[in-house]
Structure 1
Amino acid sequence: MSDIRAIEVPKWGLSMEEGTLTDWLIEEGDSFAAQQEVCEIETSKISNVMQAPFAGVLRRKVAQPGQTIPVGGVLGIVADASVSDAEIDAYLAQRGVAEPAPVSESVPAETTAQPLVKLAASAPAPAPQPSVKTPGAWQVPQALLGASDEALFATPHALKLAAQLNINLSRVPGSGREGRISVADIEAAVRAEGGQVASRAAAQKANQAAPSRLDDSQVLATPVARRLAQQWGINLHDCRVTGTRGRVCKADVLQARGVDAVPQAQAAPTVDSREAFETLPMNGMRKAIAARLQASKRDAPHFRLHADFDLERLLALRAEINASVPGVKISVNDLLIKACAQALVKVPDVNVQYDDERQEVRRYRDADISIAVALPGGLITPIIRQANRKSLAEVSGEMLSLATRAKAGTLKPEEFQGGTFSISNLGMLGVRQFDAIINPPQGAILAIGAGEKRVVAHEGQPAVRTQMSVSLSCDHRVIDGALGATFLKELKRLVENPTLMLV
């Protein structure tokens, strides 16, 4: 069996334990090169494209879209044509892999997503809005038309369909993992707004009524698609083309045949008809957050220090930079990231990680700042590495890029794992003050509230000044009260004298 190799679920980061296959980008029988994109995998933190670790021919798909496999589990089998199916079966048995369920009557799992069941009293049906007819019998309401101005978490097929129909995906609620938008979500949104989606049955009937008689031997198609088309007497000219590199794929042939059966993907919300609530399964990200923060709260003895910062000078500096430097738009959060980085270098004993297993403290020379970013299914903490060495413009640009890719689910593992200190900012949501739980193995996290006008004593007189409340949570195993207070004192000095960050 030396000629048989397996495509396995990769380990993207130390905390990754499993991954969910969302889509295959190649078909059985396809040849592929090393580093070629072969499939999409979702983890508890990200959705990413897997590149082949070696070249070969995909002989068998062991995992199907929607299936969750542990790290190191078999996704597919790679072997030359000389290797028999019996040898592949023996290899899978040796690996302890059960024979996969037949999928010849299936379509991609992305079409299985169903909208959440709502239990509130039925609202009156919305009045139909003007719609725009598009190719393929679609009628898209005006309310959904337009280009999205931000990166959105959607399946590749949903992105392609939205581009074809000029649909703004920010107006389409997603029902997939972490709010991912699927083709089914687009169809549901169009119907909800009084529009019309293409009828698969009508398309099938039309194809049956006037099947193409052209020679389809030159039509680009995957080996599986061509074999199924010949088996069922389907002309490849009558199939849509959605496969990679402009080829007809198996799903296209299945649609032309009118197969609507779909594999079971992730668990759908269930409803108890006797109670006015809905039961939602926890996704992988939510489970990971629950486990890590529960362990942090249980194992790390938290203590908290609170302080108020005057923001008047910081806001003035921000306004001056944004007005005088073309192409740069600094936020208050960017300035606070930079201030924390410099304060950590000044007070390095707070810039630490704690290894509980080895009973060791790792103190870092540079400040790698983790910033909490809210996602539909939880949160993630992308990291600005060596923030103390970066300019404000570099911090701002990197933060924007990280936040955008975090919300799109395309961060690389090294971009959100590690870090020496965390920031959680809820000020933009109007929260005045809150306490945050430490992100292990880090030793501290800063919770930032909203900047607001308050009457305070300034130079011996009452004055209205912009103030901000912060809360520093520290792990008492490695950071004592006086040390945490020293850090807050240095941070306050930088925030209230922001020009110090420029020298």
Structure 2
Amino acid sequence: MAQIPLTMPKMSMTMEEGTITEWQVAVGDRIAKGDVVAVVMTDKVDMEVESPAAGLVEELLHGEGDVVPVGGHIALIASEEEDLLGDLFDGGGEGSGTSAAPARPEQGAGDAADSLAPPPAAAPSGSPGADGIMPPAVPLARKLAKDHGLDLRGITPTGPHGTVRVKDVKEAIAAAEAAGQVPSGGASPAARSSAAPSAASSTPEQSSPSAPAPTAPVVEADADELLGTARERRTRQLTAQAMASTSLIPQFTAYRTMDLSTAARARTGVLKGISWTTLLLRAYALLLRGNEQLNGSWAGEGVKRNPTVDVVLAVDTPGGLLVPVLREPDLMSVRALDAEVRRIGASAKSGTVDPSLFGPATGTVSNLGGMGVDRFNALITPPQATALSIGAVGFAPVVEADGTVTGRMSCEIGLSIDHRVADGADAARALQEIQDLLDDPLRLAL
């Protein structure tokens, strides 16, 4: 009977690790192929992990609340089905016929990713890459080598067919540190800062080499002193990681009270049923489409052009803030966009949003108007250059030119801008462009 490891799957393009929030099985349970065995949280979303084979749950390698890297083993299943990966890293060498034991937690997160090795290559086992050819390596080994500035061709591989394993890179790092060639503790500060996961990770150019990044004081706490469940704490950790880099951006926010009178009349006709969030999100996306500067990203020596317009919609959920991305929202019809906004909002609140909706974006929309907030400052998440905040929509008193007071449908929006990318006058012009779009609802309706 084969022993098949159940690994942490990669459920989205940006996923690097997952948190086991709930086991659906126990040791000794008999399961069928496709049965849900665990619930895993990634990008703040709960996803079900299914068994790749029928058999008996032999061992649960991690407990609820444990964070496991993609490719790491989380359970072992005893099955009569063929294990196609069982001898991928045969401990006895090629042709020995003895399967290597699956990685246990004590072996380290890195070695657990060895099951993701590429197909065999020509380089001989036990020697560095021959003739300057880059040797095959498991993904985590490549990442570790890159973060520490090591050339894979100079690392002696121990995997079959000359594959560089994680432990090979770790040994090379230790040797380099002992020789004073790599800063003790691993990657350079720039590499460590860029390695933290986020809704949209910052680029190395955004870190200033001349001034250390400001850091908040670290508060020590025992496990029983921490608030919330393991899942809620993990959500806060992911949010903290994503927002830590915002303090590195010299940003400002320009506010303007938007006249919604014309758009409000259109919502009784051509735009009937369309939410204010959709209309303002669409206006923001159209602004970014027509302004490469504001849709760009700071790249050290100038503004990098982004070929697409991708907007984060910040969604408040019982489990914390979620940041799904709407791809090219200005290219969708307004009704299709409204349906997508409502669908994403509902799925996010229920915790079932598609993980593929998380990833890099070129802007963010945050709406607290429905919670009674009139005005707030939305922080920028690098490498985005702007963020739009939307306050409460309603009637407000307005003094006309003749001195009379009337009521006007309006809301206050704020446009936060990376000052390296644009200036205050650019923000003022952008807010005027949004007002122009709201005064011409047909442009929003098309």
Residue 314 of structure 1 and its aligned partner are, at CA, apart by 0.9
Alpha-carbon separation, structure 1, partners of 2:312 and 2:410:
24
Alpha-carbon separation, structure 2, partners of 1:429 and 1:413:
26
Match of 2:392 in 1: 450
Match of 2:74 in 1: 75
Q: TM-score, normalised by structure 1?
A: 0.55
Within the alignment, does 1:309 sit opposite 2:258 as a pair? Answer: yes
Equivalent residues, number: 315
Would you say the 8 A contact 1:25–1:40 is kept in 2? no
Alpha-carbon separation, structure 2, partners of 1:407 and 1:4:
38
SS at match of 1:400: helix
SS at match of 1:395: helix
Alpha-carbon separation, structure 1, partners of 2:264 and 2:104:
65
RMSD: 3.5
Residue 16 of structure 1 and its aligned partner are, at CA, apart by 4.2
Would you say the 8 A contact 1:349–1:363 is kept in 2? yes
Deviations 1:153-207 (A, max 9, x none): xxxxxxxxxxxxxxxxxxxxxxxxxxxxxxxxxxxxxxxxxxxxxxxxxxxxxxx
Would you say the 8 A contact 1:4–1:88 is kept in 2? no
Within the alignment, does 1:434 sit opposite 2:376 as a pair? Answer: yes
Alpha-carbon separation, structure 2, partners of 1:93 and 1:387:
45
Q: Which of residues 280, 284, 287 in structure 1 aligns to 2:237? A: 287
SS at match of 1:394: helix
> Structure 1: which 5+ residue stretches go unaligned?
99-266, 271-277, 324-328
Letter in 2 for 1:385: R
Name the larger-Rg structure: 1
Letter in 2 for 1:456: V
Within the alignment, does 1:20 sit opposite 2:14 as a pair? Answer: no
Residue 29 of structure 1 and its aligned partner are, at CA, apart by 6.5
Alpha-carbon separation, structure 2, partners of 1:444 and 1:454:
27
Alpha-carbon separation, structure 2, partners of 1:95 and 1:286:
27
Deviations 1:258-281 (A, max 9, x none): xxxxxxxxx9865xxxxxxx9557
Alpha-carbon separation, structure 2, partners of 1:62 and 1:89:
18
Match of 1:184 in 2: none
Alpha-carbon separation, structure 2, partners of 1:39 and 1:94:
17
Match of 1:477 in 2: 420
Matches within 5 A, 1:215-230: none
Within the alignment, does 1:372 sit opposite 2:314 as a pair? Answer: yes
Matches within 5 A, 1:151-170: none
Alpha-carbon separation, structure 2, partners of 1:353 and 1:25:
46
Letter in 2 for 1:295: S
Residue 55 of structure 1 and its aligned partner are, at CA, apart by 4.1
Would you say the 8 A contact 2:61–2:105 is kept in 1? no
Match of 2:107 in 1: 96
Q: Which of residues 377, 381, 386 in structure 1 aligns to 2:328? A: 386
Alpha-carbon separation, structure 1, partners of 2:277 and 2:393:
11
Q: CA 1:6/1:321 → structure 2, altered by over 3 Å: closer, same or farther?
A: same
Residue 292 of structure 1 and its aligned partner are, at CA, apart by 1.8
Q: CA 1:25/1:367 → structure 2, altered by over 3 Å: closer, same or farther?
A: farther
Q: CA 1:472/1:94 → structure 2, altered by over 3 Å: closer, same or farther?
A: closer
Match of 1:45 in 2: 44
Alpha-carbon separation, structure 2, partners of 1:20 and 1:93:
16
Would you say the 8 A contact 1:21–1:64 is kept in 2? no
Match of 1:487 in 2: 430
Would you say the 8 A contact 1:315–1:332 is kept in 2? no
Q: CA 1:91/1:454 → structure 2, altered by over 3 Å: closer, same or farther?
A: closer
Alpha-carbon separation, structure 1, partners of 2:227 and 2:37:
34
Residue 352 of structure 1 and its aligned partner are, at CA, apart by 2.5
Alpha-carbon separation, structure 1, partners of 2:47 and 2:79:
27
Residue 398 of structure 1 and its aligned partner are, at CA, apart by 0.6
Deviations 1:187-239 (A, max 9, x none): xxxxxxxxxxxxxxxxxxxxxxxxxxxxxxxxxxxxxxxxxxxxxxxxxxxxx
Letter in 1 for 2:76: I
Residue 375 of structure 1 and its aligned partner are, at CA, apart by 1.5
Alpha-carbon separation, structure 2, partners of 1:476 and 1:15:
30
Match of 2:296 in 1: 352
SS at match of 2:40: strand
Would you say the 8 A contact 2:27–2:60 is kept in 1? no
Q: Which of residues 264, 287, 295 in structure 2 aligns to 1:343? A: 287
Letter in 2 for 1:413: P
Within the alignment, does 1:331 sit opposite 2:275 as a pair? Answer: yes
Alpha-carbon separation, structure 2, partners of 1:62 and 1:27:
7
Matches within 5 A, 1:50-129: 50-52=49-51, 54-55=52-53, 57-63=55-61, 66-71=64-69, 72-81=71-80, 90-92=101-103, 96=107
Letter in 1 for 2:333: S
Q: TM-score, normalised by structure 2?
A: 0.62
> Structure 2: which 5+ residue stretches go unaligned?
84-97, 110-221
Which deviates more, 88-97 or 278-287?
Answer: 88-97
Match of 2:5 in 1: 6
Letter in 2 for 1:404: A
Letter in 1 for 2:309: A
Matches within 5 A, 1:488-503: 488-503=431-446
Q: CA 1:91/1:49 → structure 2, altered by over 3 Å: closer, same or farther?
A: closer
SS at match of 1:422: strand
Q: CA 1:26/1:394 → structure 2, altered by over 3 Å: closer, same or farther?
A: farther
Residue 59 of structure 1 and its aligned partner are, at CA, apart by 4.7
